[in-house]
Amino acid sequence: MHSELVNSLAEYGIDKIDALTYVTLLKNGEIKISELAKIMNLDRGKLYRSVKKLQTLGMINSSFSNPIMCSAKPPSEALENILYLKESEYLTLKNQSTQIIKDLSKITLTVSNFTASNLLIIQGKTNIYAKIEKLLDNAKDTVYIVTTETDLHRMYFTSIPSKIQQLCTKNIDVKIITEQNPEVDLQYIKRLNSENIGFANLPSKGRIIVEKNSSLIMSGSSEKNSTSSTNLDSVLFTDSEEMVKNIFSLCDLIWHSSKKLTHVNLH
């Protein structure tokens, strides 16, 4: 149970030791650092550094007394503090980006007319879903999302459903294909806001998100990383014309052979 909580906290950029420290404090209440070190079987120096980081993040309280006492803040308050810091970091970076873009735009290089395709490896679930959101944000044509039910569940807790809804209002099709499973949770799929949903035997347990004539996000099995560190999950992103065309054609074939979900099924 605790390992799953530690992995969940990693989504917020919290190191394993810091996450374990917070979870242990939640379990044990207010405690001396020396006692906490014994419970965690952790070097006291490392623990002091962890406590200091958690204080900075606003996740724990610690006293100025001797010996030092520390306790975990309620989870709702702790995560709210982290989100506030993340939002502040984002706004700072966004404000700085305008000037950085201007400065970088002054740098020019004479090159041939040849334009190479992008080929990137993106690691970590947070980064992966952010890339999917960006693909949907910029989509101008039909998009396929082919993935497992588990991955669709995780997507529900991102802004992917709202991005799909925005595309639907622009009359751009988002076609979701997932595994044939009689126990599939239709409510989660319904909340993804796509009007085009199909069930089929998937070629793998990986994920494919591809926009027609544009770009592609693809990975091997994401299921093996579902309970391990979120940083182990990785995808390939490319705008290679040939790869995009081939994978989109594959999705077309799967879509035409899939069993479509009707509005009647959803209610």
Q: What angle (nearest 5°) sits at the alpha carbon of residue 71, between those of residues 83 and 79?
A: 10
Last residue of one domain, picked from the residues 75, 109, 133: 75
Which pLDDT belongs to residue 11?
76
Q: What DSSP character marks residue 232?
A: G
How large is the angle between the packed helices 16-28 and 2-10, nearest 10 degrees?
130
Do both 66 and 127 map to the same domain? no
Asked if residue 88 belongs to a domain, the reply is no
Is the pLDDT confidence value at 51 over 80? yes
- CB-based contact 180:200 (threshold 8 Å): yes
Q: Token pair of 238, please?
A: 């490319």
* Residues whose CB is less than 8 angstroms from the CB of residue 23 and which lie 6 or more positions away in sequence, other chains included: 2, 5, 6, 9
137 and 260 part of one domain: yes
- Amino acid (1-letter code) at residue 9: L
pLDDT tens-digit map of 88-141: 888 888 888 988 888 888 886 655 555 667 889 998 888 999 999 999 999 999
Q: Please, are residues 197 and 186 in contact by the beta-carbon 8 Å criterion? A: no
pLDDT at 85 over 60: yes
Q: Which of 19, 52, 75 is the last residue of a domain?
A: 75
Lowest mean pLDDT among 15-19, 104-108, 149-153, 260-264: 260-264
> Can you give the CATH number for the domain in which 48 is found?
1.10.10.10
Distant-in-sequence, close-in-space partners of 93: CB < 8 Å, separation ≥ 6: none
Is there a single domain that holds both residue 146 and residue 256?
yes
| pLDDT at residue 257, rounded to an integer | 93
Query: What is the CA angle 165-168-218, rounded to 5?
Result: 75
For the chain, give the mean pLDDT. 86
Cis peptide before 67 (omega within 30 of 0): yes
Rounded to an integer, the average pLDDT of 3-24 is 84
**What's the CATH code of the domain at 148?**
3.30.870.10
Count of structural domains within the chain:
2
Residue that finishes a domain, picked among 75, 102, 132: 75
- DSSP assignments along 59-128, one per residue: -EEE-SSSS-EEEEPPHHHHHHHHHHHHHHHHHHHHHHHHHHHHHHHT------S--PPPEEEEESHHHH
User: Domain containing 141: what range?
Assistant: 119-266
Q: 227 versus 45: which is more confidently predicted?
A: 45
Question: Has residue 100 been placed in a domain?
Answer: no
Span of 39-43, 152-156, 167-171, 226-230 with lowest mean pLDDT: 226-230
pTM above 0.85, yes or no: no
